[in-house]
């Protein structure tokens, strides 16, 4: 994982102060969900002959006839699913309204380099296929969020599997670098790549993966999605901006957190889930 992803030099982005509520990222007032409304279980699955481990977080009670979103939550290097779940319980934001899949990397890390037939992408696909047989998962509402290398992986999955994920949120991560193809402006491109809504959240004091990496990942998806890459607008969060002119369902935003180092912002789960819901 690079400390800083390459970033093209460009003119400053014009920021418009929005009057009224942001359509892409409003600040939604809601209490933190009680952990008692969900339950967690350890799971394993065979992926290409490898035994992969993950945690399923699901609502204790399901509404009859309802189909639920699924959010992948991806740890950073040196971590694991159980530890990251304890440190960052995303269900505090989603409550009983989504299923969560905390995936475990092999040797506490992720393969971000394999450009084709990537084992991590296959892992995510296998989890979806298994859950669809057992739980009321809405295949049209799959999301991914991750921290550090897990944030990079969310980008990689979105790039490698066009149409699989509806939106991603990256914390202290970066764009899907070093892919098989190139966009006309030189940015990395995956075969058949399609727009994916994206929110990049990054600490201004991050010395592990510097701020430019997160900023570039937002610029990257703004370009891929066809947004106005030279115009942004304010949101319900003072730390966050979204690009203007993005097609419906393909919003792109960037949150620059002044006091934060190499970790997850205290409001990241709330902001990410709100962003996902708006897509």
Question: Which residue segment(s) compose the domain that 195 sits in?
Answer: 14-278
Mean pLDDT over 200-225 rounds to 98
Specify if 224 maps to a domain. Answer: yes
Note the pLDDT of residue 61. 97
Within-domain flag for 28: yes
**Domain-located, residue 6:** no
Q: Is residue 5 domain-resident?
A: no
| pLDDT confidence bin for 29, thresholds 50/70/90 | confident
- Cβ atoms of 120 and 150 within 8 Å: the answer is no
| pLDDT value of residue 10 | 63
Residue 7, domain member (yes or no): no
- What dihedral do alpha carbons 125, 126, 129, 135 form, nearest 10°? -110
Mean pLDDT over residues 163-169, rounded? Answer: 98
pLDDT at 6: 47
pLDDT for residue 5: 45
**What pLDDT is recorded for position 3?**
42
Q: Please, which pLDDT band fits residue 19 given cuts at 50, 70 and 90?
A: confident
Nearest alpha carbon to residue 36 among 92, 98, 97: 92
pLDDT in tens, 73-119: 999 999 999 999 999 999 999 999 999 999 999 999 999 999 999 99
pLDDT of residue 151: 98
Asked if the model's pLDDT at residue 130 lies above 50, the reply is yes
Number of domains in the chain: 1
- CATH of residue 41's domain is 3.40.50.1820
Look at residue 3 and tell me if it is in a domain. no
Is the dihedral angle over the CA atoms 25, 148, 93, 65 positive or is it negative?
positive
- Entry pTM: 0.95
- The pLDDT mean for the chain works out to 95
Say if 90 falls within a structural domain.
Answer: yes
Q: Which pairs with CB-CB distance under 8 Å and at least 24 residues apart come from 190-194?
A: 190/159, 190/160, 190/162, 192/162, 193/159, 193/162, 193/224, 194/162, 194/163
- The verdict on residue 1 lying in a domain is no
């Amino acid at each position: 994982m690079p400390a800083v992803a390459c970033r093209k030099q460009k003119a400053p982005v014009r920021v418009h102060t929005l009057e009224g509520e942001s359509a892409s990222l409003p600040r939604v007032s809601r209490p933190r969900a009680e952990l008692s409304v969900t339950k967690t279980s350890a799971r394993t699955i065979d992926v290409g002959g490898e035994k992969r481990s993950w945690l399923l977080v699901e609502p204790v009670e399901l509404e009859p006839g309802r189909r639920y979103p699924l959010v992948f939550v991806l740890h950073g290097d040196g971590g694991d699913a159980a530890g990251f779940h304890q440190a960052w319980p995303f269900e505090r934001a989603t409550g009983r309204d989504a299923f969560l899949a905390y995936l475990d990397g092999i040797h506490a890390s992720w393969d971000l380099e394999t450009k084709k037939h990537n084992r991590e992408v296959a892992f995510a696909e296998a989890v979806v296929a298994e859950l669809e047989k057992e739980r009321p998962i809405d295949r049209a509402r799959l999301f991914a969020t991750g921290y550090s290398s897990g944030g990079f992986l969310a980008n990689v999955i979105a790039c490698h599997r066009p149409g699989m994920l509806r939106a991603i949120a990256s914390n202290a991560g970066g764009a899907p670098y070093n892919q098989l193809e190139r966009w006309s402006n030189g940015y990395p491109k995956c075969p058949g790549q399609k727009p994916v809504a994206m929110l990049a959240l990054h600490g201004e004091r991050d010395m592990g993966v510097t701020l430019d990496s997160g900023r570039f990942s937002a610029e990257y998806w703004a370009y891929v999605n066809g947004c106005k890459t030279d115009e942004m607008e304010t949101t319900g969060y003072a730390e966050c901006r979204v690009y203007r002119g993005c097609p419906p369902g393909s919003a792109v935003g960037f949150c620059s957190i002044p006091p934060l180092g190499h970790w997850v912002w205290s409001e990241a789960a709330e902001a990410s889930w709100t962003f996902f819901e708006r897509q």
